[in-house]
Structure 1
Amino acid sequence: MRDLLMLALFSGLIWKTFKDPMWGVLGWVWMGVMNPHRLAYGWAHDAPWSMVIALALFVSLLVHRDKLVKLPVNGVVVLLVMWILWIGVSPLLFSFYPEKEFNYWSRAFKVLLMVLVSMLVVERRQHLDWLVMVLVVSIGYYGLKGGVFTIATGGAARVWGPEGSFIEDNNSLALATIMTVPLIRYLQLQATRKWQRYLASVAMVLCMASAVGSQSRGAFLAIIAMSFFMWLKSRNKLPLAIVVMVALPLMFMFMPDSWSDRMSTIRTYNQDDSALGRINAWHTAWRLAVDLFPFGGGFTVAGPAAFAKYAPDPSIPLTAHSIYFQALGEHGFFGLFLFVGIFWLTWRRASVLMRRSKSAPDLQWARDLAGMCQVGLIGYATGGAFLSLVYFDLPYYLLLIVVSLDRIVAREMDSRAKAVPAAGPPTVAGAASPSSSSPSPYWGGT
């Protein structure tokens, strides 16, 4: 039954994609982030859904090429293009296992390439709202289910993600869930009905409960950091502060002793085998990057060969469990510079967006969205310090949102500047200004 439902939904999605490439973008995001086919048990479980939707999207781009927008040229996009090119250099030159590189490279390349392709399509607020909703539904499904499971079991069992995805293990799912909370907050800020705001509050609490129930130490630190920044970047700070200050202590209070014991290892990392293994991997990545400067050892660097040559303790070859040391070990110092630079410039561009839209009441939605993207990036920067998620889709979609939002706001500001006459006639008190704009119908305005 699930296989047939998946086929029906996907068939409708392909049909819509041929009519509008934006549906192909949404379909790609849905398949890549949620992995709904992994919820089926028959032939649909392993069918090449992503490949089919990607092909349909490229056909639609050719058919509707007159409707596409130009790829923006700014620091974020330039570094992203350089990053896409650079991730193929180290695997080609210095890989310890060259025969295994292609599968890892192709997965990362497809994620990054589709972000660039999506920039040709996403051009309106409606598109951004759809994209945010797809991300919220895709990750929120697992967050809500995991939150209910955590509450029902008292946090005695960990929460896991869909098989074969970036968010399969408990730590990765926890970080993804935490990064989705600010997007839910954005939808809540745009809601005009009480039940929508209450539903968003429940969703945020359950997502945080799911992350806590994962027993991920990185997610625990991300929750603390992100909660503060979400309060800092939000309007209506008091209700949010009350929810966070009440919900989080209650979650921590009712978690079992196994959760408390695991969190306590943050302070006693030098007595924890897992933490020591990660530190060993970090030393390995550093030594390798220094030796091969400015290159790295490729996607398969976390293997016995590299550890035998560079590790302080070659007997425990582990993945870096850190986006920073993963980027460093795989792609060298220049790769790390590109990776960090992409998201640093995304953060800066979001800050500029918030300043530009601050004085325009009808662009408050843009300020909200830019701020919540920054909060999501804080979660990624904090929690990702303990996870190997350099190529995880979600942070790159936050980048996509910020770049597209920047273009929308710039276009709106330019149109207003052109609409204002150099010396117009006096206006009647109470009359609307020629540059005033009605609130957007999407999500009910602010």
Structure 2
Amino acid sequence: MLRGLLVLFVYILISAYGFGMPHLFALAYIWTDLFRPQGVAQAIISGLPLSMIFGVAAIGAWFFCKDKPRRVTFGTGVMIVWTIWMTISTYNAVVQDAAWAKWDWAFKSAVFAVLLPYYFNTREQIESALLMVLIPIGANIIAVGIKTLMGGGGYGMDMAVSGNGISESSTLAMVATSVIPLFLWVRNYSLLVSPAWLRQVMALSLVALALVAALGTFARTGLVSVALLLVIGFFRTRRKIAYVCVVLFLLSGVSGFMGDAWTERMGTLQTAGSEASAMGRVAAWLWTLDYVKEHPFGGGFNVYFINYFSLPMTDGTILEVKGKAFHSIYFEVLGELGIPGLVMFLSMIGWSITTLLSIRRFAKRHAELGWMGDMATGLVCSTFIYMLGGAFVGVAFQPYFWYLFGIGISLKHYADRLRKQPEYAPTKTGFE
């Protein structure tokens, strides 16, 4: 009851100030989309379509936004085409009802990612958008991390609090790992989280709990994602020997804390060729390749419902797979949106990474823009982790990823405005 009253009070405040500060409605939409507060405050707001209410309010408040970008970037343009293409594919989908059910939330995530740069145009606003993405995920990380510390975790356990598409173990493990570079950015540069000591404690605690949560899910995707994070950390740190020593020390205690069950499950990475779960994914991928050969434009959302594939196992048995999910962002996009969809998907990711690296180079030339360079770096690291972990999880259309994409576009527009100022203009011989 009290939680419901608190959440309702927050929404009343947002509604009161939203049209004076339009980005508040956008922040509220991100929160309700990623966290689903109805799940933790059911007594009062369980029946309210909060996401729709704030989505409509945000679109209406768009007309009051100041300093809106006046040109469309390549990434935004491709995203617009992407939303049109996913709609056309849904009209032609093989499994109509299931396709429209997925389109309903996937389309909204893509559209709002396009709109994000129009709401967040200052450093504080961009940071507020980033925080509003991190806070809901952080809430789930805290819950899963603490439960893991108390009970050791476990595969398939429902330990998340509330979330849009991130409570599944492999997805949660990958997302928890990918947000760590962004938590570290908050620790070093946040203007909105103060005082400094509180920011340090909160960020470092969330980093530790995120690692515990990623491993505590017992999802192999989590181990792979953490491994990439550690590699990235090695190349970014200046104290490489000390870094390696600390990592080895921490890793030596992981198996002992997690227990034999965790060690045995992680050991199946070495025998994936004979494990039914892993080979089932391979079978689904092979079916997707065969399907796209005959249907290059894909089969629409949730086309995997019709898949059927037989795969010989190393022990001589035949593994039959029917209606198995894609378990990969790349095969998910390929199977559902076809070759054009995959080309657009990879183009947007490639453009985003290239653009963020360009922002990083620009910020390096100006000491006061260290926050911008490190935010761009953090977004790149998070993207790489998502791309690797996503190779084994079908989360291509999850809002978390596309909100980070939209924040990157907001950062680009902000950097472009700075480049027009005399003190930030490039030198005659300089290149980004």
Give the unaligned 5+ runs of structure 2.
312-318
1:311 deviation in Å?
A: 6.5
Q: Give 1:102-251 correspondences, 5 Å limit.
A: 102-156=100-154, 158=157, 160-162=159-161, 165-190=164-189, 193-233=196-236, 244-251=247-254
Q: Give 1:12-27 correspondences, 5 Å limit.
A: 12-27=13-28
Question: Could you tell which deviates more after superposition, 45-54 or 378-387?
Answer: 45-54
Counterpart of 2:341, as a letter, is G
- What's 1:373 paired with? 379
Distance 1:237 1:327 in 2: 38
Provide TM-score, normalisation by structure 2. Answer: 0.89
Q: Deviations along 1:107-156, whole A, 9 cap, x unmatched?
A: 11101101111221111100111112222211111112211111111235
Q: Deviations along 1:10-59, whole A, 9 cap, x unmatched?
A: 22222222221111111111111122221123352342110011111122
- What's 2:299 paired with? 297
Change (3 A) 1:419 1:99: closer
Distance 2:241 2:88 in 1: 50
Change (3 A) 1:407 1:233: farther
Counterpart of 1:111, as a letter, is S
Please tell me whether the aligned partners of residues 35 and 163 of structure 2 are also in contact (alpha carbons under 8 angstroms). Answer: no
1:346 deviation in Å?
A: 0.5
1:255 deviation in Å?
A: 0.8
Residue of 261, 269, 276 corresponding to 1:266:
269
Distance 1:321 1:119 in 2: 31
Distance 1:203 1:84 in 2: 34
1:100 deviation in Å?
A: 3.1
1:390 deviation in Å?
A: 0.9
Distance 1:203 1:215 in 2: 19
Please tell me whether the aligned partners of residues 284 and 325 of structure 2 are also in contact (alpha carbons under 8 angstroms). Answer: yes
- What's 2:356 paired with? 350
Residue of 320, 328, 335 corresponding to 1:322:
328
Counterpart of 2:291, as a letter, is L
Change (3 A) 1:111 1:24: same
Change (3 A) 1:335 1:311: farther
Change (3 A) 1:242 1:164: same
Please tell me whether the aligned partners of residues 26 and 116 of structure 2 are also in contact (alpha carbons under 8 angstroms). Answer: yes
Distance 2:425 2:292 in 1: 54
1:71 deviation in Å?
A: 5.3
Counterpart of 1:411, as a letter, is R
1:205 deviation in Å?
A: 0.8
CA RMSD of the aligned region, Å?
2.6
Please tell me whether the aligned partners of residues 139 and 161 of structure 2 are also in contact (alpha carbons under 8 angstroms). Answer: no
Please tell me whether the aligned partners of residues 71 and 120 of structure 1 are also in contact (alpha carbons under 8 angstroms). Answer: no
1:248 deviation in Å?
A: 4.4
Distance 1:16 1:288 in 2: 51
Provide TM-score, normalisation by structure 1. Answer: 0.86
Q: Taking every aligned residue pair, what percent have the same amino acid on both sides?
A: 23
Question: Could you tell which deviates more after superposition, 71-80 or 359-368?
Answer: 71-80
Counterpart of 1:226, as a letter, is L
Counterpart of 1:284, as a letter, is W
Q: Deviations along 1:323-350, whole A, 9 cap, x unmatched?
A: 0100011011111111121111111111
Please tell me whether the aligned partners of residues 300 and 336 of structure 2 are also in contact (alpha carbons under 8 angstroms). Answer: yes
Distance 1:201 1:237 in 2: 20
Q: Deviations along 1:82-104, whole A, 9 cap, x unmatched?
A: 211111222222x2222332221
Counterpart of 2:86, as a letter, is I
Change (3 A) 1:195 1:3: closer
- What's 1:59 paired with? 60
Q: How many residues align?
A: 415
